[in-house]
Structure 1
Amino acid sequence: MSSIFESIEHAQAQLKELAPNQWNAFQQFNELVFKEGALSVKEKEIIAVAVTHITQCSRSTDFHTKAAKKAGASLKELVEAAFVATAIKAGGGVTHGTHVHNAKKTDASDFLYARSNLQNLKSIGKNAHEGFKGYTQFNAAATTEGMLNTKLKEIIAVAVGIATQCPYCIDVHTKKAENLGATNEELAEAIMVSSVVAAGSSFTHIAKMIQSYND
């Protein structure tokens, strides 16, 4: 793995030469997002690690795991954050599954993401009782207080919901985070972490593109 990363590092050095203005702007973007603010650097890096499990960029996971460790995060905290991401990913699948109910209705609304559509979760729970029970138990376990408190877990859930582009996840977990005391500033900073990590995944793949071109 180290040799692969070294090769990417070489490609990134070339990227800096090929597009210096864009390189510098991205570096500043990343630096500003991860500055201490309403969320600590440690909290931001924990959120970042969770989001990398959605972007599925191994380079980003490696980078932010090391940054989180440097900021004081424990392995248990990072594992809990990763499980929050896993649960939200599962939740996106379940909640979007409610559209199956609408697909079978000839008079269904044309508005795809109506909040009221979540009422159709009852139908999934009824028709796939055991599987739905397993999902709800897993989701509860992933978001229950542990090494990370429930407020931070729900902030992570919002950031992951942004990364998965699941409006239902964003709606549900924003409300839960707010009820647990999350501020607008904390949520906004988590959104920016999600944004820069998603961009970081593309950034890494630009380097891979250069690497492929040079091979």
Structure 2
Amino acid sequence: MSISNESLYLRSNYAKYAAKFVPFAPETFKAFSEFNKLALQDGALSGKFKELIAIAVAHATGCPYCIDIHVTTGHKLQLTKEEIFEAIAVSALVKGYSAFYHGVNALNALRDDRDDELYSRSNLTGIEQFEPINEQLYTSVLEFRRNVLAGQVVSSLEKALIAVAIAHITGCAYSIEDFTVLAQQEGAAIEEIAETILVATALKAGSALAHRVNAYSAFIREDENNS
């Protein structure tokens, strides 16, 4: 198969370039590698479930290297296509819900008496203001949430934890509030919440780090063009 040299994402490039920057910051790369290993190892949550969280987070960050690596690892740990798809659906839901929740801020911006406070916990109930504007659309968003978060192959507790991870990727205060409360209601322990957040942290940072492959490729190509 011929591949255009214009491609910015090649699976083979990761193996080819991933280690190239390491000699220039060895201690920092080592520290991240150790953190990543710790974040994904067995703890309050199993390493297998953490890989499922990692897959969901990789779809939230959109990093193709992370998706490839963690789906491959998850497959080795015997995660099924059904589990992976349900995790991806939670990722899609929470990313979408973060935008949906910010609609409250849009409605507040239209008010003549709007407050100086842009984020308030009480704003969460304001989402119901969308119902009379377009009941069918509002109801369909709520139905999507119910369908995605319902326990199926992946349990409702596990889905709530995945939602917490994605909420930390979106950085939406409303989503963090909502899905953390949901996870607690589903029976999540504080240790499980903590480990979930650390997996999200590792994957969000790992996404940026994985893209060093592109940076190295661009750097050496420019060097070659100038030589």
TM-score, with normalisation over the residues of structure 1?
Answer: 0.96
State the match for 2:176 in structure 1.
170
State the match for 1:181 in structure 2.
187
| Higher Cα Rg, which structure | 2
State the match for 1:129 in structure 2.
135
Asked if structure 2 preserves the Cα contact closer than 8 Å seen for 1:8 and 1:211, the reply is no
Q: Report percent identity of matched pairs.
A: 31
CA deviation after TM superposition for structure 1 residue 214, in Å:
1.0
Asked if structure 1 preserves the Cα contact closer than 8 Å seen for 2:165 and 2:196, the reply is yes
Query: Normalized per residue, which structure has more helix?
Result: 1
Between the aligned partners of 1:212 and 1:70, the Cα distance in structure 2 is 33
Aligned match for 2:150, one of 144, 148, 157: 144
After the TM superposition, list the runs of 4 or more consecutive aligned residues in structure 1 that deviate by more than 2 angstroms: none
CA deviation after TM superposition for structure 1 residue 20, in Å:
1.2
RMSD after superposition: 1.5
Aligned match for 1:13, one of 19, 28, 36: 19
CA deviation after TM superposition for structure 1 residue 8, in Å:
2.6
Gaps of 5+ in 1: none
Between the aligned partners of 2:189 and 2:203, the Cα distance in structure 1 is 21
Count of aligned positions: 215
Asked if structure 2 preserves the Cα contact closer than 8 Å seen for 1:45 and 1:68, the reply is yes
CA deviation after TM superposition for structure 1 residue 207, in Å:
2.0
Q: Which stretch shows the higher mean deviation, 11-20 or 21-30?
A: 11-20
CA deviation after TM superposition for structure 1 residue 58, in Å:
0.6
Asked if structure 1 preserves the Cα contact closer than 8 Å seen for 2:13 and 2:213, the reply is no
SS in 2 for 1:107: coil
Q: Could you report, residue by residue, the CA deviation over 1:51-92 in whole angstroms, capped at 9, with x for unpaired residues?
A: 111100011011111111222211110100000111111111
TM-score, with normalisation over the residues of structure 2?
Answer: 0.91
State the match for 1:199 in structure 2.
205
Q: Which stretch shows the higher mean deviation, 77-86 or 7-16?
A: 7-16
1:55-134 → structure 2 map (5 Å cutoff): 55-134=61-140
